[in-house]
Amino acid sequence: MATIPHSALQKLPDFTDSNDLASEQVGGKVVFATDDWFAPAENLIKEEAAVFKEGEITEYGMWMDGWETRRKRTEGHDWCIIQLGVPGVISGIDVDTSYFTGNYAPRSSVQAANLTKSFSKRGGERIGLAATQEDYQMVDQLQSESWEYIVSLTQLQPGFQTSCHNYFECTKKKKFTHIRLNIYPDGGVARLRVYGQAAPNWNKVSEKELVDLASMRSGCVCVGFSTTNRGHPKNLIKPGRGESIKDGWEIIPKATRPTIVQEYRHTGKLCPSGSEWCTFQLGHSGIVQMVEVDTNHYKGNFPYTCKVEGCLVDDRVFPGSSLPLDTAWKTLLPETKLKGHNQMFVDVAKLSNVAVISHVRLTVSPDGGVSRFRIWGRKAQSASSKL
């Protein structure tokens, strides 16, 4: 475990390109919290970034977008348990204290466990409440105080723009299903991001079963991209369809784009004016049966065309690293026109070079937004690309 300082000018840690396994959008949920007096623990796993409402007061105190406990007047410290929406290997943690400047939690630690069962009786409006004796008796069954530490007790920084992200790298290559966030002794945390890669049991998946090899639930992860103007490419592999234009990958148009857009008269296609790309490592090497490119919600700002390529690489590639320069990319889906706010499916009959692949690259031209990207296929027999 290593603490990584942050400033507005710093490059984000490589592990932030991984998927957030704890987000409520992918099924994460709070199982237990010692106290929710000022603000409930469920705020920790909201997908959107924290916000601040100047001057807004509740009957319990200042409204805050995070988890904030009352000042400790009894023995101990505050803590909560979160069940990951996608169990997997954790590569990094962000304890985000945004807008908690004078009332932030001064110290924290994180523990984790791989459980076969869990529980959750939380529900309704939790603000102004604390855990009951019955809640404590129930959570005691999980024996969370003995879980493995993936982040040791560490000082946190206040929630100013240049110090709010407290990044911690995790090096334990184990599958976890639950985490316990400890704050010492009390205070507020805005968001908790648990970055990592899903660890499904591929032994239970038949080679005849059609699965989304490019889903974060399958263990797919983004390993490279040309730009992240609006939204990260990892949004493309989230479960379900995109919720809004904020829930996708959008490239803003370049100021250097042509003054007048032209097309080739003999083909009817627009003259090229640039492209952007993103690369994904599939959850398991497989044989593609169908490609899905979804521009849901992008109506006037969708890309003109897209292209999909694939390759087979034996070694695993992780966020922040890169594929070998001599990688032999083969075109699966040639340059194809897209439509706005549309879910496009291309089956195997219209694909090229259909063979075993471990990575895919999506290229869009010249700019615009894509909501979701799916690679439907069957797992290959090779075990070299299993997590």
Q: What is the pLDDT of residues 72-100, one digit of tens each?
A: 999 999 999 999 999 999 999 999 999 99
Structure tokens at 177: 């299903």
pLDDT at 257: 79
| Residue at which a domain ends, from 175, 198, 221 | 198
**Position 329 pLDDT exceeds 90:** yes
For residues 172 and 222, membership in a common domain is answered with no
Same structural domain for residues 45 and 192?
A: yes
CA distance 231 to 227: 10
Residue 359 is assigned to a structural domain of this protein: yes
What mean pLDDT is predicted for residues 44-55? 96
Q: Which of 343, 361, 214 is nearest to 276 (CA)?
A: 361
Q: Evaluate if residue 384 carries a pLDDT over 70.
A: no
Which residues lie closer than 8 Å to 233 by C-beta, 6 or more apart?
Answer: 222, 225, 249, 278, 280, 362
Q: Last residue of a domain, which of 140, 166, 198?
A: 198
Same domain? For 46 and 112 the reply is yes
- Please report whether residue 102 resides in a domain: yes
Residue 117 pLDDT level (bands cut at 50, 70, 90): confident
Average pLDDT for the chain:
91
If asked whether residues 359 and 231 sit together in one domain, one would say yes
pLDDT per position as a tens digit, 283-310: 999 999 999 999 999 999 999 999 999 9
Q: Is the same domain home to 146 and 7? A: yes
- Mean pLDDT computed over 14-20: 96
Instruction: Taking residues 329-351, report their average pLDDT.
Output: 96
Give the least confident one: 37-41, 236-240, 258-262: 258-262
Give the domain extent around 159: 2-198
Domain-located, residue 385: no
Query: Residue 315: its pLDDT value, please?
Result: 65
pLDDT at 248: 98
pLDDT exceeds 60 at position 225: yes
- Region 49-59 average pLDDT: 94
pLDDT at 300: 95
pLDDT on residue 44: 98
Flag whether 386 is in a domain.
Answer: no
Of 157, 180, 198, the one marking the end of a domain is 198
Residue 289, domain CATH: 2.60.120.260
Asked whether residue 384 is assigned to any structural domain, the reply reads: no
* Residue 387 forms part of a structural domain: no
Residue 178 shares a structural domain with residue 296: no
Q: What is the pLDDT of residues 165-213, one digit of tens each?
A: 999 999 999 999 999 999 999 999 999 999 999 999 999 999 999 999 9
Which residues lie below 8 Å from residue 16, measured CB to CB, with a gap of 6+? 92, 94, 167, 193, 195, 319
Give me the number of domains the chain comprises.
2
In this prediction, residue 385 carries a pLDDT of 40
Residues 180 and 328 in one domain: no
87 and 219 together in one domain: no
For the entire predicted model, the pTM comes to: 0.91
Q: Over pLDDT 90: what percentage of the chain?
A: 82
Residue 197, token pair as written in the block = 């890669």
In this predicted structure, the answer to whether residue 314 has a pLDDT above a threshold of 90 is no
Q: Are residues 262 and 350 in the same domain?
A: yes
pLDDT level of residue 326 (50, 70, 90 thresholds): low
pLDDT tier for residue 321 given thresholds of 50, 70 and 90: low
Whether residue 151 sits in one domain with residue 246: no
Q: Is residue 331 part of a domain?
A: yes
Poorest-confidence range of 155-159, 258-262, 267-271, 306-310? 267-271
Please calculate the CA angle 7-90-12 and round it to the nearest 5 degrees.
20
Same domain, 194 and 139: yes
Q: Calculate ∠ Cα 53-21-45, nearest 5°.
A: 20
Same domain? For 123 and 193 the reply is yes
> Does residue 267 have a pLDDT over 80?
no
Residue 323 has pLDDT above 80, yes or no: no
Res 273: pLDDT? 74
Q: Are 192 and 44 in contact (CB under 8 A)?
A: yes
